[in-house]
Amino acid sequence: MDLPTIMAAPGTPPCGPPTLGDDGWVLTRYADVVAALTDSRCVVPAAPPGPEGTLAWLRGTVSRFSPPDRHAARRALGTAALDTLDPAELSLAAARLTGQILDGASREDVVEVTGEPARRVPVEVLAERLGLADPAAAVAEVCAVAAAYHPGADPATVEGANRAVAALVAMSPPGPAEVTANRLGLLVQAADATAGLIDAAVRHGRAAPDGLATTTLLAEVLRLDPPVRATRRVATEALSLGGRAVRAGERLLLRFDAANRDPAVFAEPDRFRADPADAVLTFGAGARGCPGQRHALALAAGVVGVLRHASGALIEGGRR
């Protein structure tokens, strides 16, 4: 099987020892990134709290941005919700909805991967199974929150996200605020990261052999063109990473895109592998590893499997 080569995206740094820049340390080697992900002295920058039902409340309550003393309990709320969901059923539901979107498009319609299939399908399928009253309406609200979820969003985007969070809370099943926030956090992750994975898989899938399994395609896209390229940590005390002395309070930028191509771990790091291992770091590692990895991959597989084999469908701006 002739497998494609995917060069690193512009801006991806080469693997090498940790480097100190204006905003802290940049880690690019696989071993260094794993060390930072699994060291309890390297913590996620915590989000400050906010009034209930706002974007600040959501960010300050989800496990992803919680301080170490609150993380485990909040993570358990998200995993409890995910434990009720069958990844195989999620994949089938995602495939059905994707098929309905394609079947409902006329031959003159443009089918955009980053529109209906990639953004709508994972969120709508997941929202329905998490008990939101109007899963279809939840899609636009979740996307509005995702647009302002990370620091640095402009005030207008934050204002729209505040309205969207309030709408999503109103759609959610009754329950404690922390439970609601962590369920909504799962949907926000589905909107951005899963959509990015689907988009990249369809683009790179064009160069892949027809016989390449969709699960293999997704696994290698996660490595070679990850939807989440980096994550941040802060050192709570002095430590050594990759032979460098890191001081307490210094920031760390962990580059998944570089570490996933580390030649010390991946032979021919720019080429697809037909038998990918579980070494990819895109979902993180350690106590903060993504709890929804199986579910995200199942949703993506349902969508991508249909798009890859849709008869006559030219995706991403093409015509069906």
2 domain residue, yes or no? no
Q: Span 259-284, mean pLDDT?
A: 88
Q: Which residues pair with 42 in a beta bridge?
A: 235
Angle between helices 177-189 and 68-83 (to 10 degrees): 70
> Considering its fold, how many domains does the chain have in total?
1
Matching residue, tokens 């990819």: 280
- Write the CA distances from 186 to 23, 108, 133, 210, 320, integer angstroms: 29, 35, 16, 32, 32
Residue 318 above 50 pLDDT? Answer: no
Place 192 in a pLDDT band, splitting at 50, 70 and 90. confident
How do residues 103-153 score in pLDDT, each as one tens digit?
Answer: 887 554 555 665 678 989 999 999 999 999 999 999 999 999 999 998 778
Q: Which of 10-24, 67-81, 306-320 has the lowest mean pLDDT?
A: 306-320
Residue 113: per-residue pLDDT: 64
5 domain residue, yes or no? no
Residue 111: per-residue pLDDT: 58
Residue 178: CB partners within 8 Å, gap ≥ 6? 61, 74, 77
Q: Span 75-102, mean pLDDT?
A: 96
Residue 72 above 60 pLDDT? Answer: yes
Residue 256: per-residue pLDDT: 97
What tokens appear for 241 in the block? 């990473």
8 domain residue, yes or no? no
Q: Which of 38-42, 140-144, 267-271 has the lowest mean pLDDT?
A: 267-271
Residue 183: CB partners within 8 Å, gap ≥ 6? 77, 78, 81, 130, 131, 172
Residue 50: per-residue pLDDT: 95
CB contact at 8 A, 313 and 131 = no
316 domain residue, yes or no? no
Residue 73 above 50 pLDDT? Answer: yes
Residue 229: per-residue pLDDT: 95
- Amino acid symbol at 263: P
How do residues 233-247 score in pLDDT, each as one tens digit?
Answer: 999 999 999 999 999
Say how far residue 86 (Cα) sits from the centre of its chain.
Answer: 19
Whole-prediction pTM: 0.92
Residue 314 above 80 pLDDT? Answer: no
Strand bridging mode 251-255 / 24-27:
parallel
CATH of residue 216's domain is 1.10.630.10
Place 250 in a pLDDT band, splitting at 50, 70 and 90. very high
CA–CA separation, 158 vs 147, rounded Å? 8
Residue 316 above 60 pLDDT? Answer: no
Place 93 in a pLDDT band, splitting at 50, 70 and 90. very high
6 domain residue, yes or no? no
Residue 112: per-residue pLDDT: 65
51 domain residue, yes or no? yes
Residue 231: per-residue pLDDT: 95
Residue 313 above 70 pLDDT? Answer: no
Domain residue limits at 124 = 19-309
Residue 109: per-residue pLDDT: 53
Q: Report the 3 state secondary structure along the chain.
A: CCCCECCCCCCCCCCCCCEEECCEEEECCHHHHHHHHHCCCEECCCCCCCCCCCHHHHHHHCHHHCCHHHHHHHHHHHHHHHHCCCHHHHHHHHHHHHHHHHHCCCCCCECCCCCHHHHHHHHHHHHHHCCCCCHHHHHHHHHHHHHCCCCCCCHHHHHHHHHHHHHHHHHCCCCCHHHHHHHHHHHHHHHHHHHHHHHHHHHHHCCCCCCCCHHHHHHHHHHHCCCCCEEEEEECCCEEECCEEECCCCEEEEEHHHHCCCCCCCCCCCECCCCCCCCCCCCCCHHHCCCCHHHHHHHHHHHHHHHHHCCCCCCCCCEC
Give the percent of the chain with pLDDT over 90: 79
13 domain residue, yes or no? no
For 142-153, letters b (16+ CB in 10 Å) and e give bbbbbbbbeeee
Average pLDDT, the chain: 91
Residue 320: per-residue pLDDT: 33
Residue 291 above 80 pLDDT? Answer: yes
Higher pLDDT, 238 or 154: 238
303 domain residue, yes or no? yes
